[in-house]
């Protein structure tokens, strides 16, 4: 027989809870139905706008680059991203020639004039004033629980340069999504149509106002290249706080890979007053040769990244990349970030160290002997293919206004130092490898 | 010689990776990894801007994914 | 005074079959521009929206917004829909789930109610229905059955770190205690914002409405002539005819009662309101409690809490200094 008297719950202490309950219900309802969907939730758009400002010392390159990115996640986990990037570039860039004890006059790459460089100054070409627009669209979608695919299209246009491309990839999850295998393939077609047409490889720069013919140094109004990239990667969850990624990439470029705006100085080896100075042509003008690069390039990269979360919520991010190519360049990139969480804000110091070895056909200058022998196939004095080290130090600050909104800004300092053949004679008195120093500033807002 | 060294690295990498099947977490232990700042590329806009800077200033590019095409700057 | 009953088929009301996953009968709109009555079925209740000061197009638009939102909430949080978030939670078998923002905010609210009520309100107590079947019979569970099911009851056994939820295996969550009130408050917000939008093109528009989901009510304000809405509230004694009426000129009223679900054994009426701390039915609870509060969720919680106080219900309600009605 069951007891009729159940345990009495006892007399409760009566509390006044109405005000607390009012607050709780108001906060639940104050979130409007449409706001209730947060970032990454199906059906909403997430936006990010940012602007980068880049400025090099010594009147060199300055750029402003605003970016607009919009992402939408759909019901079944598909993600669409649309991005627009605008790029305005002004300022000067080294043209590859060596500085000289005497003033130098260069023909503008467009053939519409000349520009002069004072004695001892670094030869920089400031005829660039370029605006670029780039648009891209990408799509990511699951195929089933274990497979995912992605596809993207890209296009960018400057007044003399067009680039279009497409990429696709597959991702395979294993081990309860602890491991992800990544495969990607991308194809890109670039076309350059410089204002002064394409220069013949290693042709002598024509001096305007002389008997030199500008047009005879030109070979076609445009040229193109195709680039195929393949990526194989593994992402692996190590433990609750650690995730790693290993990638191998292969990149094949084919076509016109030369920089049509760069030249090399030819240096006099004749003993005498001009030993180490610029070699002069019949008209008494300096001889410069337009650079030429191979028409193909194969690059291999190995990339390793680790992210580790500390128990206090801080995150450490470190990566290393090794690159090797058939131009003889190899490089190492070390990147390290520490995100220091401060409630709804964070501070993130950043350190990056880069070192590269010079390309086989990199030459700071061409000697008289080499010039007269005339059997150089490729040569470039572009410092970006030389032996250089780059160090970046930066700090980023971010503040989350709410779950979906963040404001951030970062300041970085980039110092690049180059090294190489110091020259001989008069050339030794010149600074052949000036540092490149740049200040980077970026502000961003995501909502 | 260079390519022999590269092949060695790839083989070593594959051995390391095959050991990876023992690593990982249970689905309910994914709380930390789910945080946005733990994504490998946490801010793709910033990553794209950085890639563009270093692509135009150095001889190496990419490595961690496909960026977004070319420009006339290198 | 024309009373037109217009049976709208779903498409006319701008609703598709996607909006009506539970296959409820079509909503109806009857009345005239003096007073429109929109009726529909949701959450096992007869739902009504009374509207004044609108023309037929506006009234049917408001009704379709109200119906859509109610059916959306019903489908999302109903225990009977397979594949929705509640179903996934209840079948999660101990694994962690990441919840969307709306579900997370409801869980947060439920957790606050758990704390404010010292554990008397607990959304993990739904599994108690496995031993307590309120069918008017005398099948009251014994101590052993209750003890066994109580292993799977208790918010203290839930790991909640928004937005990540982990239940122990065989635990379940049930939003039945707050679902209707939440829907009423949401639709009031939706209708108010729609009226604001309508007023932009028609600045002279003056309207008033009240929503009544089987005893859970909320209004936009008093009627256009300044008098309160007088709504019949189901009585516990007679299921068919209304006896008690509620006058509402602002805010909301919610009712908790045992009118249709109870067990009766040996002269003791076991109400369907169960104490999550003991697993037992609340003894000496009033037949019905109605509480008035600024919004329906608050009113609903207070009436539920009052019921959980059993014999002390009136004392509890007096302490809250809100208008209330108790039927014993």
Q: C150-159 burial string, b = 16+ CB within 10 Å, else e?
A: bebbbbeebe
Cβ neighbours around C148 below 10 Å, total: 13
- What domain count does chain C have? 2
If you search the block for the tokens 């191979």, which residue do you land on?
A: A294
Which one, of C308, C269, C290, lies nearest residue C134 by Cα?
C269
Contact A195, A108 (CB under 8 A): no
Q: Is C140 touching A (CB cutoff 8 A)?
A: yes
Query: Which residues span the domain enclosing B41?
Result: 31-63
Q: How far is CA B66 from the centre of its chain?
A: 10
Cross-strand bridge partners of residue C270: C263
| CB atoms near residue C147 (< 10 Å) | 12
- Which residue in the set B23, B30, B66 is minimally distant from A186, CB to CB? B66
The contacts of residue C274 (CB under 8 Å, 6+ apart) are: C125, C128, C132, C280, C281, C282
B28 pLDDT exceeds 60? Answer: no
Tell me the two tokens of residue C35: 């007073």
In a mutational test of the C interface, the residue from A5, A28, A32, A33 whose CB has the highest number of chain C CBs within 10 Å is: A28
**pLDDT(A438) > 60:** yes
Residue where a domain terminates, one of C149, C175, C201: C175
Answer whether C161 sits within 8 Å of B27, measured CB to CB: no
Tell whether C117 and C145 lie within a shared domain: yes
Write the residue in B37, B45, B73 that is nearest to A444 by C-beta. B45
Rounded to whole angstroms, the Cα distance separating A201 from A83 reads 37
Q: How far is B27 from chain C (nearest CA, A)?
A: 7
What are the counts of helices (DSSP H) followed by strands (DSSP E) for chain A?
2, 21
What is the DSSP secondary structure assignment for residue A259, as one 8-state letter?
-
* Residue A110 contacts B where some CB pair is shorter than 8 Å: no
**What is the model's pLDDT at position C124?**
92
- What is the DSSP secondary-structure string of C134-154? -SSS--PPPHHHHHHHHTT--
Residue A359 in tokens: 């390309």
Whether residues C94 and B30 touch (CB distance < 8 A) is answered with: no
- Does some domain include residue B17? no
**C55, C33 Cβ separation under 8 angstroms:** yes
Average of pLDDT values for A74-88?
A: 88
| pLDDT confidence bin for A330, thresholds 50/70/90 | very high
DSSP string for C42-72: ETTEEEEEEEES--HHHHHHHHHHHHHHHHH
Nearest chain B residue to C166, by CA = B28
* C-beta of residue B24 within 8 angstroms of C-beta of residue A28: no
B28/C95 touch (CB, cutoff 8 Å), yes or no: yes
More confident residue, A89 or A433: A433
Angle at C82 between CA C76 and CA C83, to 5 degrees: 70
% of chain A exceeding 70 in pLDDT: 94
Regarding whether C195 and C143 lie in a shared domain, the answer is no
| pLDDT, one tens digit for every residue, chain C (328 residues) | 233 444 455 545 667 777 787 888 888 888 888 889 999 999 888 899 999 999 888 999 999 999 999 998 998 888 888 888 888 899 888 888 888 888 888 998 898 889 888 888 899 988 888 888 877 677 788 888 888 889 999 999 998 887 788 999 889 998 888 889 999 999 999 999 899 888 888 888 889 999 999 888 999 988 888 888 887 665 444 444 445 677 788 899 998 876 566 777 777 777 777 888 888 888 777 878 889 898 899 899 998 888 888 888 888 888 888 888 777 7
For residue A260, give every residue at least 6 positions away whose Cβ sits within 8 Å of its Cβ, in sequence order, or none.
A109, A192, A194, A196, A198, A199, A290
Contact C94 B34 (CB under 8 A): no
* Pairwise CA distance, residues B45 & B54, whole Å: 15
For residue A30, give the chain C residue with the closest CA: C189
Last residue of a domain, one of C158, C175, C192: C175
CB A91 within 8 A of CB A422: no
Q: How far apart, in whole angstroms, are the C-alpha atoms of residue C189 and residue C73?
A: 14
What whole-number distance in Å separates Cα of residue A24 and Cα of residue A15?
16
Given C119, C149, C175, which residue is the final one in a domain?
C175
Q: Which residues of A touch C297 (CB under 8 A)?
A: 25, 28-29
- Of B27, B31, B34, which has the smallest distance from its Cβ to C95's Cβ? B27
Contact of A151 with A167, CB cutoff 8 Å: yes
Q: Which of chain B's residues have a Cβ under 8 Å away from the Cβ of A184? A: 65-66
* Cβ-based contacts under 8 A for chains A and C: 101
Interface touch A165/B69, C-beta < 8 Å: yes
Q: Which of A357, A81, A50 is nearest to B66 (CA)?
A: A81
> How many Cβ pairs closer than 8 A exist between chain A and B?
191
Residue B58 lies in a domain: yes
The whole-angstrom distance between A270's CA and the closest CA on chain B is: 34
Residue B51 inside a domain? The answer is: yes
Search chain B and give the residue with CA nearest A137. B68
Restricting to A residues 35-54, those with a Cβ less than 8 Å away from any Cβ of B are: 48, 50, 52, 54
Tell me, what DSSP letter sits at residue A16? -
Asked if the Cβ–Cβ distance from A17 to C297 is below 8 Å, we say: no
SS3 for C115?
helix
pLDDT at C280: 85
8 Å CB contact of A403 and C69 = no
Q: How far is B23 from chain A (nearest CA, A)?
A: 5
Dist. CA C86–CA C108, nearest whole Å: 15
Among B13, B20, B32, select the one facing A241 at the smallest CB separation: B32
Cα–Cα distance, C287 to C181 (Å, whole number): 19
For residue C163, say if its preceding peptide bond is cis, omega within 30 degrees of 0: yes
DSSP, collapsed to helix, strand or coil, labels residue A24 as helix
Is C125 found in the same domain as C61? no
Both C96 and C169 in one domain: the answer is: yes
Distance CA A206, CA A107 (A): 7
Burial class (CB in 10 A: 0-12, 13-18, 19+), A192: buried
pLDDT in tens, A143-189: 877 899 999 999 999 988 999 999 999 999 888 788 999 999 999 99
pLDDT of res. B1: 61
Answer whether residue B69 is part of any domain: no
Closest-CA residue in chain C for B28?
Answer: C96
Cα separation, C106 vs C174, whole angstroms: 11
Same domain, C237 and C210: yes
Q: Which helix (H) or strand (E) holds A444?
A: strand A436-446
The CATH number assigned to the domain holding C156 equals: 1.10.3980.10
Taking residues A321-331, what's their average pLDDT? Answer: 96
- Interface contact C101, partner A, CB < 8 A: yes
C207 and C308 co-located in one domain: yes
Q: How many residues does chain A have?
A: 447
Smallest CA–CA distance, residue B60 to chain A, in Å, is: 7
- Please answer whether residues C320 and A16 qualify as being in contact, where contact means their C-beta atoms are separated by less than 8 angstroms: yes
Out of A14, A25, A36, name the one closest to residue C298 (CB): A25
- Residue C119, sorted as left (phi over 0), alpha (psi -120 to 50) or beta, turns out to be left
* Least-confidence region, from A208-212, A275-279, C217-221: A208-212
Residues C182 and C303 in one domain: yes
Q: How many angstroms separate the CA of residue B59 from the nearest CA in chain A? A: 6
**B27 at the C interface (CB within 8 A)?**
yes
Band (pLDDT 50/70/90 cuts) for residue B31 is low
Could you tell me the CA-to-CA distances from C262 to A187, A214, C122, C289 in Å, in that order? 70, 101, 20, 15
- Beta-carbon contacts of A364 under 8 Å, excluding residues fewer than 6 positions away, are A98, A381, A386, A420, A421, A423, A432, A433
pLDDT score of B67: 59
Split at pLDDT 50, 70, 90, the class of A387 is: very high
Q: Does residue C140 share a domain with residue C127? A: yes
pLDDT tens track for A332-372:
999 999 999 988 899 999 999 999 999 999 999 999 999 99
Same domain, C264 and C298: yes
Average pLDDT, chain A: 89
Asked if C29 contacts C59 with a C-beta cutoff of 8 angstroms, the reply is yes
Report the DSSP pairing between strands C252-257 and C229-233: unpaired
Q: How far is A31 from chain B (nearest CA, A)?
A: 22
Q: How far is CA A94 from CA A22, A117, A387, B70, in A?
A: 68, 11, 16, 20
Look at residue C2 in the predicted model and tell me its pLDDT: 34
Q: Do B31 and C94 touch (CB under 8 A)?
A: no
How far A349 CA sits from the closest chain B CA (Å)? 14
- Strands in A366-367's sheet, in edge-to-edge order, are A288-290, A263-267, A366-367
Q: Domain check: are C112 and C208 in the same one?
A: no
Structure tokens at A380: 């470039």
Higher pLDDT, residue C204 or A11: C204
Chain C residues whose beta carbon lies within 8 Å of the beta carbon of residue B38 = none
A30 contacts on C by Cβ (under 8 Å): none
C145 & C193 share domain? no
- Backbone torsions φ then ψ of A152, nearest 5 degrees: -150, 155
**CA-based torsion, C60, C62, C66, C72: positive or negative:** positive
Question: From the CA of C94, how many Å to the nearest CA of chain B?
Answer: 8
Span A220-237, mean pLDDT? 94
Which phi-psi region, left, alpha or beta, contains residue C39 (left: φ > 0; alpha: ψ -120 to 50)?
Answer: beta
The number of distinct structural domains making up chain B is 1
Of B13, B27, B53, the CB nearest to A54: B53
- Interface mutation vs chain C, best among A5, A14, A25, most C CBs within 10 Å: A25
Q: Which domains does chain A have, with CATH numbers?
A: 61-446 (2.40.160)
Report the pLDDT averaged over residues B46-63. Answer: 91
| Residues from chain B contacting residue C96 (CB–CB below 8 Å) | 27-31
Q: Which pLDDT tens digit goes with each residue over A16-62?
A: 887 788 777 877 776 544 333 344 556 778 999 999 999 999 888 99
A82 pLDDT more than 90: yes
pTM: 0.60
- Does residue C72 sit in the same domain as residue C196? yes
Q: Quick one: tokens of A398? A: 């971010």
Share of chain A above pLDDT 90, in %: 72
What is the dihedral sign for C-alpha A275, A277, A278, A280?
negative
Asked whether the beta carbons of C98 and C163 are under 8 A apart, the reply is yes
Integer Cα distance of B38 and A309 in angstroms: 7
The domain containing residue C57 runs over which residues? 4-78+177-327
- For B21, which of A179, A410, A414 is closest by C-beta distance? A179
DSSP states along A139-170: EEEESSSSEEEEEEEEEEEETTEEEEEEEEEE
What pLDDT, on the 0 to 100 scale, is given for residue C203? 83
Task: Give how far C71 is from chain B: nearest CA, Å.
Answer: 31
């Amino acid at each position: 027989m069951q007891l009729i008297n159940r345990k009495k719950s006892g007399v409760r202490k009566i509390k006044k809870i109405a005000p607390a309950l009012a607050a709780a219900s108001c906060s639940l309802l104050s979130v409007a139905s449409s706001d209730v969907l947060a970032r990454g939730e199906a059906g909403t758009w997430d936006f990010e706008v940012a602007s980068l400002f880049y400025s090099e010392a010594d009147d060199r390159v300055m750029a402003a680059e605003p970016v607009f990115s919009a992402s939408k996640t759909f019901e079944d986990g598909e993600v669409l991203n649309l991005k627009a990037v605008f790029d305005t570039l002004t300022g000067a860039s080294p043209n590859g020639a060596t500085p000289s004890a005497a003033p130098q006059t260069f023909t503008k790459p467009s053939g519409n004039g000349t520009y002069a460089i004072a004695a001892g100054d670094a030869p920089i070409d400031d005829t660039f004033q370029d605006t670029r627009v780039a648009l891209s669209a990408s799509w990511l979608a699951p195929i089933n629980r274990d497979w995912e695919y992605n596809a993207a299209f890209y296009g960018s246009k400057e007044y003399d340069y067009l680039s279009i491309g497409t990429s696709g990839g597959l991702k395979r999850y294993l081990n309860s999504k602890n491991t992800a295998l990544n495969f990607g393939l991308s194809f890109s077609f670039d076309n350059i149509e410089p204002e002064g047409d394409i220069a013949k490889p290693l042709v002598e720069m024509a001096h305007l106002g002389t008997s030199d013919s500008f047009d005879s140094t030109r070979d076609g109004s445009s040229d193109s290249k195709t680039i195929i990239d393949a990526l194989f990667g593994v992402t692996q969850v190590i433990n609750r706080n650690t995730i790693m990624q290993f990638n191998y990439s292969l990149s094949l470029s084919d076509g016109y890979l030369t920089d049509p705006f760069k030249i090399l100085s030819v240096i006099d080896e004749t003993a005498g007053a001009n030993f180490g100075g610029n070699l002069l042509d019949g008209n008494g003008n300096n001889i410069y040769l337009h650079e030429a690069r191979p028409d193909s390039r194969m690059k291999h990269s190995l990339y390793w990244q680790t992210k580790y979360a500390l128990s206090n919520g801080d995150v450490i991010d470190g990566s290393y990349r090794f690159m090797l190519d058939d131009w003889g360049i190899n490089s190492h990139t070390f990147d390290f970030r520490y995100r220091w969480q401060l409630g709804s804000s964070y501070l993130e110091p950043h350190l990056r160290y880069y070192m590269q070895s010079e390309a086989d056909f990199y030459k700071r200058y061409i000697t008289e002997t080499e010039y007269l022998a005339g059997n150089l196939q490729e040569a470039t004095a572009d410092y970006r293919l030389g032996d250089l080290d780059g160090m970046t130090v930066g700090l980023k600050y971010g503040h989350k206004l709410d779950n979906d909104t963040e404001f951030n800004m970062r300041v970085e300092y980039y110092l690049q130092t180059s090294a190489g053949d110091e020259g001989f004679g008069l050339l030794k008195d010149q600074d052949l490898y000036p540092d490149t120093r740049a200040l980077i500033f970026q502000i961003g807002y995501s909502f | 010689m260079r390519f022999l060294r590269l092949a060695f690295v790839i083989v070593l990498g594959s051995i390391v990776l095959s050991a990876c099947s023992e690593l990982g977490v249970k689905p309910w232990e994914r709380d930390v990894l789910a945080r946005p700042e733990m994504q490998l590329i946490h801010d793709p806009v910033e990553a794209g801007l950085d890639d563009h800077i270093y692509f135009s200033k150095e001889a190496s590019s990419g490595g961690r994914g496909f960026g977004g095409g070319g420009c006339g700057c290198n | 005074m024309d009373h037109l009953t217009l049976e709208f088929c779903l498409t006319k009301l701008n609703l598709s079959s996607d909006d009506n996953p539970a296959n409820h009968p079509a909503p109806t709109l009857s009345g005239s521009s003096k007073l429109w009555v929109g009726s529909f079925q949701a959450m096992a209740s007869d739902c009504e929206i009374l509207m004044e000061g609108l023309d037929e197009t506006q009234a049917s638009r408001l009704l379709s917004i109200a119906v859509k939102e109610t059916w959306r909430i019903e489908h999302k949080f109903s225990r009977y829909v397979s594949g929705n978030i509640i179903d996934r939670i209840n079948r999660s078998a101990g694994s962690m789930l990441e919840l969307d923002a709306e579900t997370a905010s409801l869980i947060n609210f439920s957790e606050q109610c758990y704390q404010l009520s010292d554990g008397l309100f607990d959304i993990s107590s739904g599994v108690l229905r496995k031993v307590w079947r309120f069918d008017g019979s005398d099948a009251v569970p014994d101590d052993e059955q209750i003890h066994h099911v109580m292993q799977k009851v208790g918010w203290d056994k839930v790991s909640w770190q928004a937005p990540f939820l982990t239940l122990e295996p065989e635990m379940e969550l049930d939003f039945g205690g707050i679902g209707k009130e939440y829907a009423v408050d949401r639709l009031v917000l939706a209708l108010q914002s729609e009226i604001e939008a309508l007023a932009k093109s028609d600045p002279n528009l003056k309207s008033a409405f009240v929503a009544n989901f089987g005893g859970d009510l909320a209004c936009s304000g008093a009627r256009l002539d300044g008098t309160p809405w007088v709504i019949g509230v189901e009585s516990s004694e007679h299921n068919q005819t209304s006896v008690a009426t509620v006058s509402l000129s602002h805010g909301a009223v919610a009712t908790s009662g045992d009118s249709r679900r109870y067990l009766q054994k040996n002269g003791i009426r076991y109400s369907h309101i169960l104490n999550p701390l003991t697993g037992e039915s609340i003894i000496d609870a009033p037949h019905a409690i109605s509480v008035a509060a600024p919004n329906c969720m608050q009113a609903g919680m207070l009436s539920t809490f009052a019921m959980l106080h059993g014999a002390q219900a009136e004392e509890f309600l007096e302490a809250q200094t809100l208008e209330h009605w108790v039927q014993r």
